[in-house]
Amino acid sequence: MEWLYITMPIAGVEIFWPGLIVLGLGVGIISGFFGMGGGWMVTPGLNILGFPMAFAIGTGIAQMSGPSLVSTLRHGRFGNVDYRLGVIMVLGTVCGFEAGAQTIMWLERIGRVDLYVRYAYLALLALIAWLVFADIVKKRRKEQEALAAGRKLDALSTGIEWHKRLHRIQLPPVIHFKKAGIRCSAWLPIGVSFLTGWLAGVVGIGGGLIRMPALIYLVGCPTHVAVGTDLFEVAISGLYGAATYSYKGRTELLAALIMAAGAAVGAQIGSIATKYVRGYGIRLLFGLAVLGCALSIIFKLIAAANPGVRSLFDGAATVLILGLVVVLAGHILIQFIRGVREELTLKRKPLVRSSL
Amino acid sequence: MKLTSKWLAIWAWSEVSTALAAEAKVQHIVIVADSRQVSGWKAWLTNLYNESHLYFALATIIIIPAVGLAIGKLMDVLLAGLGIDLKTRKLAEH
């Protein structure tokens, strides 16, 4: 079975290449569906496959630039990308990210930065999970109330409506974001992207995991537009990440290429699957992904605090993340297959009728 | 996935500028890959990495998006051939 292994020319390690394709496929599906880069899933996956940590981070980020571009273009075709909003948010994100990096340097001078960062990350994930599930519960309650009153709830109604309050701040320039269907002060997306960029910089992640819910709950984007617009940002930040890590010599191009091949296929599947799933269905799955991610951080914290059980909990965190990739990607794939079947059946129906 | 020349020009510009921006932030650590273990195109890749990290970074940010786009296009053809509508999304909700 030697042909299943390939020597990585730069890292100098033997890698099981079908594992790279499967990992890329899974992460691509999740990334295209939720609108995030998925670095938190790729890094432990590459590490398990045998990459040293330094190469795992760089390679994971480098492979992101291909599939996120594919997903952005696909979502763009579906009308899910507000490019104007995306460009404005990129500016805020970049400034926020730099401010986050400065904050980390300041924290390093205080000491115990890793612990603070992990706790901050955990608190952030808990907040996002609470937001998502509180929103779903509130929306369901509204639906039930409307049903009891004998009327139908507006398809565009939401559970949590913080964005409506924020839209009332009409600080010039006020911009109409056509695809997102919102009219607000330009300072709102700038402020939100600065904040999410800063948080991403502090906790050391790409930011898609924070930006996607921020686009929904603070900026007021419909779920599908939040996914597409966030992917536009991921494509740009992924490109920058690929450049910076490659320049630092921390990218294994061959592995990134093999992964990107699988991820590009997955990105198409994930992006198209959003066609068949309602916005709140995406939010629910996203909430579960965030919970899984939070649980893995708890395992890492337990491992760091108790050297005796370190390997056990570190291993559990990795297994949890990879299990999450398998379950989520599998579920999205099933939704995709069901949706495609229904679409094709609907297309064939009129032909059957006319032939009768 | 129809790409306009304007979009391509912006993309090409961003590729070069990101590589140059990355150059400014580099940490001065020398990592050398062992090219004696490999041959052919792998040896070329290893030598490129050893000789210039800037060219290696440029190659990375050109090759990966290009491969992604090529496979994405191939998937487009395949999925459109199955009869899936790849242009519209009918679900209109928040």
Asked if residues A63 and A259 have their Cβ atoms less than 8 Å apart, the reply is: yes
pLDDT digits (tens, 9 = 90+) for A75-115: 999 999 999 999 999 989 989 888 888 887 787 787 767 77
Confidence of residue B28 (pLDDT cuts 50, 70, 90): low
pLDDT digits (tens, 9 = 90+) for A189-225: 999 999 998 888 887 777 888 999 999 999 999 999 9
pLDDT digits (tens, 9 = 90+) for A143-195: 899 889 888 877 778 888 899 999 999 989 999 999 999 999 999 999 999 99
Residue A157 zone, left/alpha/beta (φ > 0; ψ -120 to 50; rest): beta
Chain A residues whose beta carbon lies within 8 Å of the beta carbon of residue B37: 7, 9, 12
Asked if residues A236 and A43 have their Cβ atoms less than 8 Å apart, the reply is: no
Q: Which neighbouring-strand residues pair with A183?
A: A176
Confidence of residue B16 (pLDDT cuts 50, 70, 90): low
Interface confidence, given as ipTM, is 0.84
**C-alpha separations of A216 from A65, A83, A184, A200 in Å:** 24, 16, 14, 17
Q: How far apart are CA A281 and CA A277, in angstroms?
A: 6
Chain A residues whose beta carbon lies within 8 Å of the beta carbon of residue B71: 66, 70, 260-261, 264-265
Contacts of B71 (CB under 8 A, 6+ apart): A66, A70, A260, A261, A264, A265
Q: How far apart are CA A158 and CA A165, in angstroms?
A: 13
AA identity, residue A33: F
Residues 243-262 in A contacting B (C-alpha not used; CB under 8 Å): 243-244, 246-251, 253-254, 256-257, 260-261
pTM of the model: 0.87
Question: Where does residue B23 rank: exposed (0-12), middle (13-18), buried (19+ CB within 10 A)?
Answer: middle
Q: Residue A248 and residue B91: Cβ atoms within 8 Å?
A: no
